[in-house]
Amino acid sequence: MAENRSLLQVLNGKTVTPPPLWLMRQAGRYLPEYRETRRTAGSFLDLCYSPDHAVEVTLQPIRRYGFDAAILFSDILVIPDALGRNVRFEEGEGPRLDPLASEEIGKLDGSGMLDHLAPVFETVRRLRRALPAETTLLGFCGAPWTIATYMIAGRGTPDQAPARLFAYREPVAFAKLLDLIADLSADYLVAQLEAGADAVQIFDSWAGVLGEDEFAAYATGPVRRIVQSVRSRRPDAKIIAFAKGAGLQLKGYRQATGADAIGLDWTVPLSFAAELQKDGPIQGNLDPLRVVAGGTALTEGIDRILDRLGNGPLIFNLGHGITPQADPDVVGRLVERVRSFGR
């Protein structure tokens, strides 16, 4: 039945009208049913590692909106958690880790990672059985640069200066860290694909703080390493690469990484997006705040994207994750608007 999954058709280069639709963070705090499940699950990582709860919250937006894709409910920081970096999530403050020192990099041991993440793969297996046949199941991981920024600083920072300084001062150690994360991430994605994921996305949420040379070394190179490793074992793997804030550096990013599609944040001009679309599928890129605003701001934003990009291979999505302030009814109107395109 995979050939009937519209998102996979787009990843194969086809134009589908209306375009397939899903939203980053579509299973999240804006949904009352998610908040209810979250209250019963314990910690955030408990939610991620409980197949019962993770399956439930992944399916919630599919039941409510019928999105064309479900994305595994988990977190990009399960990789450092599997490396024993004491990952925890503090209410209102985001993730916290024990900051990583240079001398600790050589001691990181990922040999038990797949065992540690076995509950995630069980979630994927259950999801593929539970989802409608026409719904694409997406797995994901964080990109090495983004994961490294959290591991080094122990938290997110406005410009990820701790990781950038570390990379300049300790280039050999930093390269070793990126390689390790890339190799573990590739293993993680392959295991998700083997468990039933149809395609995967690599999130480089902090790519936008990098200069040209650094983007090539810390963002493009490690993602290429992941893609090549995954394809060596799964030649037919479909991969979306999302480098948030990369701007003009997205020119050539698809070719340099080997990704099938590239995700675009809301700052990417539609004229530039149309140029990128000439080389293959793109995903994006509605400003999440238009969903919060609703009304004319929402419909105009949707229509501009569809008018400029809807006649080529497009996966409609937000330019970043949906925010907790979004009204579920407004999300429903977004779905209706996209689904009406071309009809």
Cis peptide before 95 (omega within 30 of 0): no
The whole-angstrom separation of Cα 241 and Cα 262 is: 5
User: What is the phi/psi pair of residue 43, to 5°?
Assistant: -75, 165
Rg (CA), the chain: 19
Q: What residues contact residue 76 under an 8 Å CB cut-off, 6+ apart? A: 140, 141, 142, 146, 147, 203, 205
Residue whose C-alpha is closest to residue 75's, from 45, 97, 34: 45
What distance in Å separates the CA atoms of residue 86 and residue 141, rounded to the nearest whole number?
18
User: Contact 153/24 with Cβ under 8 angstroms?
Assistant: no
The rounded distance, in Å, linking the Cα atoms of 267 and 283 is 13
Single-letter amino acid, residue 319: G
Phi, psi of 266 (to 5 degrees): -70, -15
Helix (H) or strand (E) segment spanning residue 118: helix 118-130
Looking at this protein, which amino acid is placed at residue 300? E
CA distance 123 to 111: 21
Helix then strand count (H, E) for the chain reads: 17, 9
By annotation, the residues acting in catalysis are: 25, 29, 38, 75, 150
Name the nearest CA neighbour of 137 among 285, 238, 225, 234: 238
Q: Which residues pair with 316 in a beta bridge?
A: 21, 284
Handedness of CA 192, 339, 299, 281 (dihedral sign): positive
Cα–Cα–Cα angle for 234, 238, 239, rounded to 5 degrees: 110
